[in-house]
Chains A and B, each alone.
Chain A
Amino acid sequence: MTHPSHPRINSDLLRPLLQTSWRFYLLVALFGSIVVAALASWMTQMYLGFGISGIRWPVYWGFYVTSFVFWIGISHAGTLISAILRLVNAGWRRPVTRCAEVITVFALMIGAMFPIIHLGRPWLAFWLFPYPSERQIWPNFRSPLVWDFFAINTYLAGSVLFLLLPMIPDFAVVRDKSTGLRRRIYGILALGWRGTTKQWHRLETAMQIMAVAIIPVAVSVHTVVSFDFSMAPVPMWQSTIFGPYFVAGAIFSGIAALLIAMAVLRRFLHLERYLHPVHFENLGKLLLVMALLWGYFVFNERLVVYYGNEPSEMAVFWRTQRESFAPLYWTMVVCNFVVPLVLMGIRWFRTITGCVIASACVVVGMWLERFLIIVPSLGHKYLPYSYGIYRPQPVEIIIAGSTFAAMALLYVLFAKVVPIISIWELKAGEHTPPDLIPPATEEHPLGELHL
């Protein structure tokens, strides 16, 4: 692989910022209108009443909570993966980290909307916040929903920091390359970055600290999300495996989202010189590992329930395994296990196209997984008299579907204002001046290993 020169890196990676084509406006208009339609749907739901959704007795959680869990899962793409890759000093991570961290921040923002959208009275969502109220009422700290509030906010704050810190030197590059108002704005964002040894050292130290700190936070977030289910006495929810099962699924869907985002960026921003097939291949191997792990967890969860043979759990078990939810269930198994295993397991298929196909399947499969955890259990809870069937209504389908447009919109806008590949990290990866880079980031042979 040939390395582009430094001026070349600057011009290639800054081009999306400095030049705007009609395609940008078209994409923003397209995705923006979908997001506006979703906001209008939400307003309609608030105005007419929650009854226009398909939520019903006893299936009180549906598409909204599915989307919540799904997007919080996608958010594990970034920060966690890039933190791990930074810590093991994998050299190939350099062009990938920022794409990944951006997914985290935006997916969290989208996911965190859903606990509010799904509320019966969303205008009172602030009652979940621990603020000193004149009535001296605090939120109920025993409720997993309040844990969610803290976990998600911690992760959001952490991943925003993790995203912003390595952007400082790049803001400085943009500042130096631009004029006028843009120069002023990026000058403020660059926080007075001059590129002195001391500044580089501090940045590296801060990144090391953040990389270590963000991993337990990321793991805790999806564990806490899984507690929303495993803490309630609902058949097939009360499972001790849910914490790691959810975290594994989250990383799995996160890698898939990252692969899709990278392929799209590579195609549309012409980053072929930076995002090489080897990046896709390495992430594809990670996807394969996570597919195996996911299969292991599902097998575990299912076998224990089957062997336990508890009547109420078996009702849900058969409902997903071979009754009304079976088509969705087996689609999920094919999407999450069979397809990634075949495409990522065989070297010949581990191309960029192969990775994108596998990732698209995984995204679909993981969405189905979240849905199949939530809805069949709620519709089949203990007393046969109160069994119920959930049918999503247009408002839910629009809002759940629009999240993908929202993600795309935020991504397009972000790629417009920030270099989507970390310029300084890429340059540092080329040849490392010993006085600039502290020992912690010296290239480790592990990064060059072609497993």
Chain B
Amino acid sequence: MAKWGMAADLDRCTGCGACVTACHAENNISTVGADQASRGRAKHWIRVERYWEGEFPDVRVTFRPVMCQHCENAPCEPVCPTYASHHTEDGLNAQVYNRCIGTRYCANACPYNVRFFDFFNPSWDKPLHLQLNPDVSLREVGVMEKCTFCVQRIKAVTIQAKAEERTPADGEINPACAQACPAKALVFGDLDDPESAVSRLSRSSRGSKLLEDRGTEPKVTYLSRQS
């Protein structure tokens, strides 16, 4: 059984936001409009956090793409009263929309604030409503949603590979964000395979986890900037 993980190279990230757009398109994440977004209702399963270092004019901007860290020791899982938030065998931190009753406890427990609540039923500005992904379910009002590592893509490839009696090759599975990243800052793969690209990057001396001291054991490794 694979253990899916990701590496994000902050040296490569240009903060372009292609991952955010790709994620919205792939996962049928509804857009909420400027007004609701300003009231904290935007749902970006992956976001590019922008920080400034230093004082003007000696200022440097840094970017950090943040998505669900798929923690091994996820604080969102034990607090869910209905098992909507739970751990899968391949280490994904899954969210069962149909089982969610919307206590929002998981989002409070999450140190990364990567869980999003559906405040309204989903709607899309035309013509975005014509590009919905049939592989991803729509979420109704009142449930939590979050990054799945594009579980629909993982499933599609692993099922196909199983039918062909082989294991998925490294790099065969790509979440939408990693696929769209022009700088190849995001690398996805199997952490159990020591030879996979993501494993090698995760072992890098530049690597660190986000809020590592919280003990959540995230499966996303950030490679620090060198320049």
A interface residues (Cβ-Cβ under 8 A, vs B): 48-51, 55-61, 115, 118-122, 124-125, 127-128, 137, 139-140, 142-146, 149, 228, 231-234, 378, 381-386, 388
Contact = CB atoms under 8 A, between A and B. Distances in A.
B79 A51 contact: no
Interface size range of chain B in the complex: 35 or more
A231 B79 contact: yes
Given A49-B141, A56-B39, A232 B105 contact: yes
A232 B109 contact: yes
A119 B84 CA distance: 14
Given A56-B41, A60-B104, A120 B143 contact: yes
A120 B108 contact: no
Nearest to A52: B119
B121 interface: yes
Contacts of A146: 81
With a 10 A CB-CB cut-off, give which of B75, B108, B140 has the most chain A CB atoms. B108
Interface in B179-204: none
Given A127-B82, A142-B78, A57 B41 contact: yes
8 pairs of A and B residues whose beta carbons are closest in the complex: A120-B102, A120-B142, A56-B40, A51-B119, A60-B104, A49-B120, A386-B113, A121-B142
A41 B112 CA distance: 32
A386 B41 CA distance: 12
Interface in B192-223: 210-211, 214, 216
Given A120-B101, A382-B113, 8 more contacts: A55-B119, A57-B41, A127-B101, A143-B78, A381-B111, A382-B112, A384-B51, A385-B51
Contacts of B109: 232-234
- Determine the main DSSP class of B at the interface with A: loop
Contact of A143 (B80, B143, B211): B80
Nearest to B39: A56
Contact of A121 (B66, B101, B107, B211): B101
Contacts of A124: 101
A140 B101 contact: no
Contacts of B42: 57
Contact of A232 (B79, B99, B216): B79
A58 B108 CA distance: 7
A58 B102 contact: no
A244 B103 CA distance: 25
Contacts of A381: 111, 113
Interface string B61-93: 000001000000001001111110000000000
Contact of A140 (B39, B82, B143, B211): B82
B81 A385 contact: no
Contacts of A122: 101
6 contacts: A57-B41, A60-B108, A139-B82, A234-B108, A378-B108, A381-B113
A55 B40 CA distance: 9
A57 B83 contact: no
A52 to B, nearest CB: 8
With a 10 A CB-CB cut-off, give which of A57, A59, A142, A144 has the most chain B CB atoms. A57
Contact of A119 (B50, B102, B112, B116): B102
